[in-house]
């Protein structure tokens, strides 16, 4: 039962609102040391247990070092935005006469689903794609069509941009056979005595992805009409007031 004190450390740390990473690290060390205590180990063995626990954590962190890339991308995105990335994105899309916010997001949805189905889930995302590029381009398309946007409409476009990325990723990644969700489903069903091939789950995700694309495509079409209606109402009111 002493080993379960690691859980108590986690609970106490969260209640005290201590840094979660520090709490988990301390809990892991406590659990490793107490596991050695229950075996009647000497002090030297306790020290070795603590070192071994830290070594395991370091090994796991090193094996998942792709997380480092995220922290390298964020400063790069910040520098690009400071240099005018969002403004250039707005100007670029404003030159496309047929572009609207909904049409642009529909194209992004298709690209996001297709790349996620190939396992390239990191090509999109809110911090590295939606905020610096997709949302500003959608706003630029709406500004080119309707003129200056009020904050309410601008925030709606940003929200729909983030939602489009979520839909594309969620329904596209399940087509990729080696994605974690498919592996989890295969393992869970296997434990229940149901043997299912990962390829079959991947194939059955394709109709769902197509349905999601069609449903969200209709939402984007309605979104364009909604934005046009919301911007037309104040313009009509201003015209009546001028008369």
> Whole-structure pTM over 0.75, yes or no?
no
Nearest C-alpha neighbor of 206 from the set 167, 166, 171: 171
Structure-block tokens of residue 231: 């911007």
Give pLDDT, residue 66.
Answer: 45
pLDDT digits (tens, 9 = 90+) for 80-109: 667 676 777 777 777 777 888 999 999 999
What 8-state DSSP symbol labels residue 175? T
Which residues make Cβ contacts (< 8 Å) with residue 143, sequence separation at least 6?
A: 90, 94, 149
Give pLDDT, residue 57.
Answer: 65
Q: State how far Cα 84 lies from the chain centre.
A: 24
The burial of 17, by beta-carbon neighbours within 10 Å (0-12 exposed, 13-18 middle, 19 or more buried), is given as exposed
Confidence check: pLDDT of 67 > 50? no
| Least confident segment among 2-11, 29-38, 77-86, 155-164 | 77-86
Q: Is residue 66 a contact partner of residue 117, using CB atoms and an 8 Å limit?
A: no
pLDDT digits (tens, 9 = 90+) for 197-228: 888 888 888 999 999 999 999 999 999 999 98
Q: Is residue 78 a contact partner of residue 57, using CB atoms and an 8 Å limit?
A: no
Q: Is residue 208 a contact partner of residue 171, using CB atoms and an 8 Å limit?
A: yes
- What is the number of helices (H) and of strands (E) in the chain? 10, 0
Q: What is the maximum span of the chain, computed from C-alpha positions, in angstroms?
A: 93
Distance CA 111, CA 211 (A): 16
pLDDT digits (tens, 9 = 90+) for 184-196: 778 878 887 888 8
Share of the chain above pLDDT 90, in %: 23
Domain boundaries, the chain: 2-63, 67-235
Give pLDDT, residue 202.
Answer: 87
55 against 60, higher pLDDT: 55
| Least confident segment among 5-19, 103-117, 229-243 | 229-243
Q: Is residue 139 a contact partner of residue 149, using CB atoms and an 8 Å limit?
A: yes
| Least confident segment among 32-36, 50-54, 61-65, 179-183 | 61-65
Q: Is residue 141 a contact partner of residue 98, using CB atoms and an 8 Å limit?
A: no
What 8-state DSSP symbol labels residue 17? T
């Amino acid at each position: 039962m002493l080993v379960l004190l690691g859980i108590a450390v986690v609970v106490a740390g969260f209640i005290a609102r201590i840094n979660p990473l520090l709490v988990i690290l301390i809990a892991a060390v406590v659990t490793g040391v107490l596991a050695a205590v229950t075996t009647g180990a000497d002090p030297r063995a306790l020290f070795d247990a603590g070192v071994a626990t830290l070594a395991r954590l370091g090994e796991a962190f090193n094996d998942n070092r792709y997380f480092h890339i995220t922290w390298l991308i964020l400063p790069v995105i910040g520098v690009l935005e400071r240099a005018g990335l969002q403004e250039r994105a707005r100007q670029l899309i404003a030159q496309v006469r047929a572009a609207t916010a909904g049409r642009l997001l529909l194209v992004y949805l298709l690209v996001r689903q297709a790349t996620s189905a190939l396992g390239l889930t990191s090509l999109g995302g809110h911090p590295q794609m939606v905020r610096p590029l997709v949302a500003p381009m959608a706003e630029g398309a709406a500004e080119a069509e309707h003129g200056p946007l009020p904050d309410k409409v601008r925030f709606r476009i940003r929200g729909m941009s983030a939602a489009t990325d979520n839909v594309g990723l969620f329904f596209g990644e399940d087509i990729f056979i080696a994605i974690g969700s498919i592996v989890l489903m295969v393992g869970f069903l296997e434990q229940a005595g149901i043997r299912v091939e990962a390829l079959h789950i991947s194939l059955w995700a394709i109709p769902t992805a197509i349905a999601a694309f069609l449903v969200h495509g209709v939402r984007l079409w309605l979104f364009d009409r909604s934005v046009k209606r919301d911007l037309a109402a104040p313009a009509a009111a201003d015209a009546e007031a001028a008369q």
